[in-house]
Amino acid sequence: MDDLILTISDDEVVSDLGETPAANQGQKRKRRDQKASSSNKKRKAVDEIDAGAVDEGLDSDFDFELADNLQEEEDFDGWGASDEPGEQQGDKQGVDIDDIIERRRFKQYGTQTNGKEKGPGEGAEEDVGEDVNEDDSSIASVEAGDQDEEDETLAADGFGMGAGDASEDEDEQASGEDKDEEEEDARSGSEQSEEDATTALNGHANGEGSEAEEDDDDDDEAEEARQKAFFAPEEPSATKASNSVDGSFSGMSLSRPILKGLSSVGFGIPTPIQAKAIPMALQGKDIVGGAETGSGKTGAFIIPILERLLFRPKKVPTTRVAILMPTRELAVQCYNVATKLAAFTDIKFGQAIGGMNLREQERQLKTRPDIVIATPGRFIDFMRNYTCLTPDTIEVLVLDEADRMLEEGFADELNEILNTIPKSRQTMLFSATMTSKVDDLVRVGLQRPVRLMVNAKKQTASGLVQEFVRLRPGREQKRLGYLMHLCERVYTNRVIVFFRQKKEAHHVRVVFAICGLKAAELHGNMTQEQRLNAIESFRSGQASFLLATDVASRGLDIKGIETVINYEAPQSHEIYLHRVGRTARAGRSGKACTLAAEPDRKVVKAAVKSAKALGSVIRQCTVDPKEVDAWCSRLEAMQDEIEEVLQEEKEEKALLQTERQINRADNIVKHEDEIKSRPKKTWFETEAQKAAAKDRGRVELNGPDVSKTGKEKRKKLSNKEKKKLQDRDDRRAGLMWQKGKHSAEKAEKAVKDQKQKQKQKQKEKGGKGKPKRK
Ligand SMILES: Nc1ncnc2c1ncn2[C@@H]1O[C@H](COP(=O)(O)OP(=O)(O)OP(=O)(O)O)[C@@H](O)[C@H]1O
């Protein structure tokens, strides 16, 4: 108790500090539970609230309420700039498509165009980017509720997708032409068509026999019995808290600095999942928590962690909490939310997030911050190769988006982490699509966890309107035409468009840039710096569209996203829920629009079924085919330019890469002694194993890559490929440092050649001026 240090200014009264005994860290589970039970007594306010049923007692239409005396902090969405400069920057630069296009325009017209081009055959440019509301005649919508009986039946089947229709004959003829074009495209970029095939085939594979799969989730009796034995029985205190009439944070006996933090970010009353989880987490219980997207799960685990940490022994700085996230962006977001909530405490944070400055993170971790927010790969790197992270002192482990973390692709990394952190830890798992399946949870090492599910069946947020634009058979190839039309005329601002393929997202990014639609892209082929910049430019409104893969589908909390467009439906209903959950968050409204062709049938059907069950608004929208066809012709005429831009980008990337290699080689030469003396890094997986795990993860997210033949899939690595991977492993382990000088010379020569080539090219094109970067 000597270690208790007040965390707000000394003259402030902190009434309940001494009484909140929930956490004396570093104890074994038993001691923790004993303490927790004594805390139960003291947390009267929580316990006095009536016991009730798990979900029934909750107000399903919970309204987010802001703290009294506070205006909503408009900007608080977890993405406010960090106080420490450079802290959130990645460590590699990338190539900017807008720059390339601007340069090209400059050459063409001798002026900067701000990215807007005169589209082929396009007269009235003023339309572009202009807000056209939904009533625009180019998109007609029918609310499912208003449909006649026949349409009702169709709606339940995903608006009759796949049902034969005489009017489709015409479309099919058109599709024949499209296919020819596709084949031509395929000759210039075979991968693209392969990806299309993947999407199509995946979808078809999913289309059939899906009903049985859907119902798999319904627990059978045996599973129910196992769950009963696995989970702790629901404790009255959890439901009492959530049924509280005033249900305030102060009713949870939270300390003053925490209440101040909550107030400063505008959290007035706890959301239902927070009301349930906070009291349980304060008692040190293991938790499996599920609640719809945007319902405040982050706060549900951060608030009790901060409260408990206020009472940690402070003589020796110790890292006690690890919060693991599946993506780097989520980890950064969580870091921002947590540091803001902890603004009035002395709790310290560290990061172990992939793609970001390793040295800076090492420096932070050396100070033994109380909480480390991490992605699994970087966490393991620190665990194994540095002394700054001490996993054996971790007492609380959180897996956010836990179902994703439990999937293939993260499995190996997670096992490695779980095996290293002490078993006596408190473990909390959260997700909007949280699994309750015991088999999945057992390996996390949970100990009699409490299961807290809030509106878990409800799934989509109540303020969400779901629209579906059906692409009839034969018109699937015109997806991009549909998207361009929608983004130019209907959904023109604050829109996320989701793609299954990185390449597709990037391709569309180029098209948007050529057409003058302000967009940012977000996927795994970008440097971390580019990824964070993309989010920032979308968040700040500089870009109206975010073109993303599923790396952005979970957890991203960006205020004011009006629409989520699914360029194609995702692989599963779960991913659909996460994607559409980027809008209509925290009690707001929003729209999701899915371009649905036959291959997307299964997911559309599931979405329609669940929306109908909830009574939420679903609409079938139709788009004027002439508008789409006009866009398709425009896109076709743009093809050469798209390819040239992609080519220029490729060259710039190669140049950057070579420059990076030179710098690296320079460093190796300069710091030869230091590098030699560094201990060899170890990796718990080889590159080949990592690649295999990555593949498994991809399959989990996007379905099997059916475009590859079985033979290709089973294909063994050639000796050359093996050697390449081995070399990379060795290089990372520092074994090949000796090659530095040699590679430096080589790299230097390559850069010179490349620069020479570029100069030559510029001379040839007569393009003197490269406009300055904005
Ligand atoms: N008690 C509260 N009062 C008001 N706003 C809140 C409260 N708790 C959270 N919020 C806000 O609600 C939004 C969603 O919260 P959060 O990102 O934690 O949701 P989530 O459930 O984790 O969503 P997802 O499943 O998509 O990850 C955030 O903008 C957050 O600031």
* This prediction's pTM: 0.69
**Closest-lying ligand 1 atom to the alpha carbon of residue 582:** 26
Residue among 58, 59, 62, 64 to mutate when testing ligand 1 (max atoms within 8 A of CB): 64
How many residues are there in the chain? 774
Choose among 665, 682, 679, 663: nearest CA to 739: 665
CB 260, CB 8: distance < 8 Å: yes
Output the CA 185–ligand 1 centroid distance in Å: 44
CB 668, CB 675: distance < 8 Å: yes
Output the CA 428–ligand 1 centroid distance in Å: 17
- Helix, strand, coil percentages for the chain (3-state, nearest 5): 50, 10, 40
Q: Check pocket membership of 585 for ligand 1, CB cut-off 6 A.
A: yes
CB 284, CB 33: distance < 8 Å: yes
Q: Check pocket membership of 377 for ligand 1, CB cut-off 6 A.
A: no
Output the CA 481–ligand 1 centroid distance in Å: 35
Output the CA 293–ligand 1 centroid distance in Å: 8
Output the CA 597–ligand 1 centroid distance in Å: 33
Residue among 271, 276, 306, 334 to mutate when testing ligand 1 (max atoms within 8 A of CB): 271
ipTM above 0.90 for this complex: yes
Output the CA 579–ligand 1 centroid distance in Å: 15
What phi and psi, each to the nearest 5 degrees, are found at residue 500? -80, -30
Write a three-state SS string for 491-529.
CCCCEEEECCCHHHHHHHHHHHHHCCCCEEEECCCCCHH
| Predicted pLDDT at 751 | 59
What phi and psi, each to the nearest 5 degrees, are found at residue 618? -125, 145
Q: Is the dihedral of CA 338, 343, 349, 355 positive or negative?
A: positive
**Closest-lying ligand 1 atom to the alpha carbon of residue 581:** 26
CB 547, CB 321: distance < 8 Å: no
- Which residue, judged by its Cα, is nearest atom 20 of ligand 1? 294
| Predicted pLDDT at 753 | 73
> Which residues, in sequence order, are CB contacts of 701 under 8 Å at separation 6+?
407, 409, 550, 571, 575
CB 453, CB 434: distance < 8 Å: yes
Report the side by side order of strands in the sheet with 396-400.
Answer: 349-352, 371-374, 321-324, 396-400, 426-431, 287-291, 450-454
Cα separation, 631 vs 122, in Å, equals 10
Q: Rg of the chain over CA atoms, in angstroms? A: 27
Residue among 79, 405, 557 to mutate when testing ligand 1 (max atoms within 8 A of CB): 557
CB 156, CB 608: distance < 8 Å: yes
Residue among 75, 297, 340 to mutate when testing ligand 1 (max atoms within 8 A of CB): 297
Q: Check pocket membership of 77 for ligand 1, CB cut-off 6 A.
A: yes
**Closest-lying ligand 1 atom to the alpha carbon of residue 249:** 1
Cα separation, 81 vs 96, in Å, equals 22
CB 527, CB 594: distance < 8 Å: no
470 bridge partner residues? 596
Q: Check pocket membership of 295 for ligand 1, CB cut-off 6 A.
A: yes
CB 505, CB 499: distance < 8 Å: yes
| Predicted pLDDT at 699 | 62
**Closest-lying ligand 1 atom to the alpha carbon of residue 337:** 31
Neighbours of 180 (CB within 10 A): 9
| Predicted pLDDT at 253 | 87
Neighbours of 738 (CB within 10 A): 11
**pLDDT averaged over consecutive 10-residue blocks of the chain (774 residues)?**
33 33 43 47 35 34 52 46 42 73 75 46 35 44 43 46 36 33 31 30 33 47 78 63 63 94 95 94 94 94 97 94 95 96 97 94 96 96 92 96 85 87 94 79 85 76 91 92 96 97 96 96 91 94 97 92 96 93 92 94 91 87 93 95 93 87 84 74 67 65 50 55 63 44 54 70 58 42
Residue among 70, 258, 459, 585 to mutate when testing ligand 1 (max atoms within 8 A of CB): 585
Output the CA 411–ligand 1 centroid distance in Å: 27
| Predicted pLDDT at 326 | 93
Q: Check pocket membership of 299 for ligand 1, CB cut-off 6 A.
A: yes
Q: Check pocket membership of 296 for ligand 1, CB cut-off 6 A.
A: yes
Q: Check pocket membership of 271 for ligand 1, CB cut-off 6 A.
A: yes
- Which residue, judged by its Cα, is nearest atom 25 of ligand 1? 293
Residue among 259, 292, 295 to mutate when testing ligand 1 (max atoms within 8 A of CB): 295
